[in-house]
Amino acid sequence: AFKAVANQTGTPYPTVFHRFVDAEPECNELVWKAFYRLFPHSPYHYVTFCHDCRSFDLYETEQDMLRDGPV
């Protein structure tokens, strides 16, 4: 999804990545739209980013995300 947004907007991939991690609203909306185009039947609607391990965790509900611990 990051690559799709980078191509769509002409924004460098690392910039898209960092803006998404920083929860920039416009970037988040574009990334989620691209994600659902790529994975239209995905049950995931929430995401957290682990800065230490540099990975994302996807969650179906906000409750699932909050139950997993602090972000």
3-state secondary structure of 13: helix
Which residue range is the domain that position 13 belongs to?
Answer: 1-40
Give the model confidence (pLDDT) of 45-55 as tens digits: 999 999 899 99
| 28 and 57, same domain (yes or no) | no
Q: Residue type at 64? A: D
Q: How many domains does the chain have?
A: 2
Give the model confidence (pLDDT) of 4-42 as tens digits: 999 999 999 999 999 999 999 999 999 999 999 999 999
| 35 and 61, same domain (yes or no) | no
H or E element, residue 34: helix 25-38
